[in-house]
Amino acid sequence: MTYTLLNVVFLAIVALVAIAAIVVRRAPRWRAVGLAAVLLLTLTAVFDNVIIGTGLVAYDDSLISGVRIGLAPIEDFAYTVAALVLLPSVWELLRRTPARQDSES
């Protein structure tokens, strides 16, 4: 199984959870997700390049697409994207609705 196929399966599940959160509750605050994405994708690029460059992790070239950011295959970034979508979606699904307050007149 290639990393791309694994990512497609995993990201499809994440997409279903995100759609459920939007339909059942409300959409996560995508602006906040976007700001977190900039930070986390940058950190992923830096640290993935470090661990690949030092030889701690290696990838079979026949299992990756060949598209890289530095030394890191693009497939590595799918997990960060999945976390950025999944965690706020689950948060919205598990969020409790505030108790209705009856006004006393």
By the 8 A CB rule, do 82 and 10 touch?
Answer: yes
The per-residue pLDDT for range 52-102, each reduced to its tens digit, is 999 999 988 899 888 999 999 999 999 999 999 999 889 888 887 665 555
**Smallest Cα–Cα separation from 29: which of 88, 97, 96?**
88
By the 8 A CB rule, do 73 and 67 touch?
Answer: yes
Q: Check residue 99 and give its pLDDT.
A: 52
- Dihedral (Cα; 34, 37, 42, 44), 10-degree rounding: -170
* CA 99/CA 10 separation, integer angstroms: 35
Q: How far is CA 24 from the centre of its chain?
A: 20
The per-residue pLDDT for range 6-58, each reduced to its tens digit, is 899 999 999 999 999 888 877 778 888 899 999 999 999 999 999 999 999 99
